Amino acid sequence: MVLPIIQANPHIALTGVAPHLIDDWTNLPELQELMYRESGRPGSYISVSSHIPQTEDIYVRRHAARGVKVRMRTCTIDELGFSRRDVAWEDIVAGRFSPGSTTLELERTARLICSGGWPAGIGQEDEIARQTAECSVEEAILQVSTVFKKKVPTASAVLTAIADGAGEDTNHPALTKRIEQLGVKPPSRTTLSTYLGILERLCLIERVQGWDAPIRSKSRVRTKPRYFPVDCSVSTSMRQLAANDLLGNAPLFQACLKSMVLHELLCRVDSPASKTPGRVCYYSDADGLEIDFILLFDDGSWAPINVELGEHQVTSSAKRIARLYNKLASNEGSGIRPPAFSAIILGSAAKRSHEKISDSFVFPITDLY
């Protein structure tokens, strides 16, 4: 409604009390240059967009130090109001953890996954929140056509394949296989790369690198990026699934739960305001050892994290983490220190425990805050 007015006089968009929010500034890129020119102090303007522009004005690049780029993500479980707040993030990073009774049923986790972390769903009933998630994902994917002039069905198939296999290989053969299972003709390697780039610029997928761990045979460590959806509801939204559908599909449930945990981790370490800044990787090697996530903190510390549906999987999960410790210990000259902590995060549980095999904190996802 106001775009023609702002196009005629962009200064109008900057009028208002600071901090002044400018939504979808990428519809008029010159606005960002004006913001850099006219900002009197840090925080004068907040410009947001639902996608990352392909190019930036040379003035913007030259004066980028005057602004801070923040990757916005959907809400955490705590922000949604669903955390029991029994496990403080700062505590476990410092090695503090208290076992005890808790409660999280798999059915509840399934409903949380289908609702996702979309702000429009806050305070809504489960079914309304699920429908809100579907609308949010649909609105985002439509930008493939409106912004990037590409095919929405192809992008939808690629996004669904990524969400369905969260945490698994996302190279061309792996994604091709999953796309074929959707009944869609898979794109070529070049076309797939193009759509992955678009989905990243639309902030619909997260890129996670493999950890180049200091073990003896580095050639056996896999480091190529894997992709995850930005929100745990993406897979169920693309397929229009409800919680009961998820309860009948263990592999899909596991993939969605991994996406949920990754989102919680990224919101705590990948932020300018984070007290524990760092990055999230995965670990995989040719011996078949897989660790879902490795946190690499900026202070040089690290932490392995696995994700499981329930308490029955804790022992096998702990043994995988212990195998990683053994591999690292075999390289005496690596200089790597013991992990800050180790965790196994569950989708259902009746207790928090301190597992002994890998010295891991075990707790359900909804205990974290």
Reported confidence tier of residue 42, pLDDT bands at 50, 70, 90:
low
pLDDT at 59: 52
| 300 and 188 share one domain | yes
- What pLDDT score does 66 carry? 64
What residue has token string 């289908």?
A: 114
- Structural domain ending residue among the three candidates 37, 66, 95: 66
Do 34 and 148 share a domain, yes or no?
Answer: no
Token pair listed for 144: 């493939």
Does the pLDDT at position 340 exceed 60? Answer: yes
**pLDDT at residue 34 in the model:** 76
- Decide if 54 is inside a domain: yes
Question: Are 220 and 347 within one domain?
Answer: yes
pLDDT number for residue 277: 97
**Rounded Cα gap, residues 272 and 274, in angstroms:** 6
Domain boundary among 46, 66, 86: 66
pLDDT over 70, % of the chain: 92
CA–CA distance, 263 with 116 (Å, rounded to integer): 10
- Residue 72 falls inside a structural domain: no
Q: Span 148-175, mean pLDDT? A: 95
36 lies in some domain: yes
Helix pair angle (189-201, 172-181), 10° resolution: 90
Helix, strand, or coil here: 296? strand
pLDDT confidence band for 199 (50 / 70 / 90): very high
For residues 103 and 175, membership in a common domain is answered with yes
pTM: 0.88
Question: Within this chain, do residues 57 and 120 fall inside the same structural domain, yes or no?
Answer: no
Q: Which residues pair with 147 in a beta bridge?
A: none
pLDDT at 37: 72
pLDDT band at 367 (very low <50, low <70, confident <90, very high): very high
Question: How many domains, the chain?
Answer: 2
- Find the domain containing 40 and state its range: 3-66
Look at residue 58 and tell me whether its pLDDT is greater than 60: no
Percent of the chain with pLDDT strictly greater than 90: 76
At 22, is the pLDDT very low, low, confident or very high (cuts 50, 70, 90)? confident
> Are 93 and 36 in a shared domain?
no
Q: How confident is the model over 144-156, as a mean pLDDT?
A: 96
204 shares its domain with 328: yes
pLDDT at residue 172 is higher than 90? yes
Mean pLDDT of the residues in the chain: 91
Check pLDDT > 80 for residue 163: yes
pLDDT for the residue numbered 47 = 74
Residue 263 has a pLDDT of: 98
pLDDT higher than 90, residue 218: no
Q: What's the CA gap between 217 and 237, in Å, rounded?
A: 41
- Domain match, 123 and 57 both: no
Q: Verify that 161 and 103 share a domain, yes or no.
A: yes
Q: What is the structure's pLDDT at 246?
A: 97
Residue 271 is predicted with a pLDDT of 87
Confidence band, pLDDT 50/70/90 cuts, at residue 41? low
- 239 and 149 in one domain? yes
Tell whether the model's pLDDT for residue 341 goes beyond 70: yes
Mean pLDDT over 326-349 rounds to 92
Give kind and range of the element (H or E) at residue 139: helix 126-141
Question: How many Cβ atoms from other residues are within 10 Å of residue 326's Cβ?
Answer: 10
What is the residue type of 154? T
- 4, pLDDT greater than 90: no
> For residue 219, is pLDDT > 70?
no
User: Which pLDDT score is estimated for 166?
Assistant: 93
Residues 122 and 7 reside in one and the same domain: no
Res. 95: pLDDT tops 80? yes
pLDDT at 8 over 90: no
E strand residue ranges, the chain? 20-23, 45-48, 100-104, 205-208, 226-229, 278-284, 290-297, 302-308, 343-346, 349-355, 360-364
Residues present in the chain in total: 369
Are 187 and 43 within one domain?
no
**Residue 71 lies inside a defined structural domain of this protein:** no
For residues 305 and 344, the answer to whether their CB atoms sit within 8 Å is yes
Using the predicted structure, report yes or no on whether residue 31 has a pLDDT greater than 80: no
Return the pLDDT at 62.
59
